Structure 1
Amino acid sequence: MELQMKVAQAVHVLNHDSQSCNRVAANQWLVQFQQTDAAWEVATSILTSNYHQQFVSDFEVEFFAAQILKRKIQNEGSYLQMGAKDALLNALLLAAKKFCLGPPQLLTQICLALSALMLHAVEHGQPIEKLFCSLQSLENHDEGTIAVLEMLTVLPEVVEDQNTDHRTSSAQRREYGREEQLLSHTSVVLEFLHRQSDKSFDSSIQLQGRHRKILRCLLSWVSSS
């Protein structure tokens, strides 16, 4: 908990302190912190704990924690043991449920981290297949469909980014066929989007908001095909 509070204080200084020297010092500390093994546990705890009232307002700390996990997964995810990956997957799914109603930017960061984690889960052989199975638990949650929509929106973008990542060998791309796996789920995604478009809402504002999310998701998949 002590490290969580130090992170919260550093984020607050970085974003709000009027003294540039203090902001520089906070940034340096946060950069160094992100490179530590402790950052995994601290960032995960920030996203899944119920201590928001002790952190900075406007979910700045949670947003920073999600960014930490996304970067560490992208850079170090392939070195994680399977048990650690499964625990992190469950934690990120919990965070997606927790923040499915917002803030939208935070949910996007969590979903980006989730997508990156699953694409690093090479020991499963079919990472995208496993991700779609994991999404079922979100869809069954009362408001989880919002998180599923965001996951399905960012997933094609993450796959495309990884296909162009110089750290991903051509042999790895052929072995796991992530793009082919992704496209094989197009019909499932379209069925899900159709179900969402048929849902009724209490207000026209809710309906318009959901339709915007559906359209954004559809465009993401069209661009990937």
Structure 2
Amino acid sequence: MKNRLVLVPVAAVLLLLVGIAARHDLMLRTAVVCVGILVTLAGMGIAAARKSSRKYLLELAVILAAYVLYAGTGFQTTDLGAFLPEDCTVQRVDITVRETGEHVIWTPGGEASLSEDNGQTALTGGSAEDVRQQAGGIVMCSYWRPGFVESAAASAVSIDLTSGGETCRVSLSQDENAQYSLSVQWESDETAEQSDWLLFADPMSLLPPDVAALLS
């Protein structure tokens, strides 16, 4: 039994490394990290019951702390609004409709209106602040949990905004695993910030409610 207990820290470390390597697959990463934590806790429980050495228990405690640190920093819950600066002005929203590939383009100002031209739907109405508020209602997780949107009406969305005299584009694109890749590209920075998320609301809900009603 002692020989088998030696394998517990090895298995726990390997699972943690797999979880770190699988950072772009949120479901796999979450599953592996959860299993790793359970393996570590089980090992600590068995070792304590069998009065194993303190050194062995300390090793498992360090591994468990590594899991907690990784989950605490890598498993985040936020909303799309957190990626829009507070002082920004949203200039344009471009939404790709999943079923048709059609682009729905929204710009602020005036009363809600809709027009169609060459396979594109142009929407106006509402304000930039309306979109910022709607973005705050789109919950995002960087780990797997039940209830995420698997097949949204919008397969991709880009938000063009200005902040502090600089332009920025915030983009979301859904892949075959129902995850969304988020990109934040500032005009002054050649390298975009990228991260992977599961969404708990359709990106189509970015549109002000009175404007979105025109699409139904």
Same fold (TM over 0.5): no
In proportion to residue count, which structure has more strand?
A: 2
The structure with the largest helix share of the pair is 1
Larger Cα-atom Rg: 2
Which structure has more relative contact order (CA 8 Å, sep 6+)? It is 2
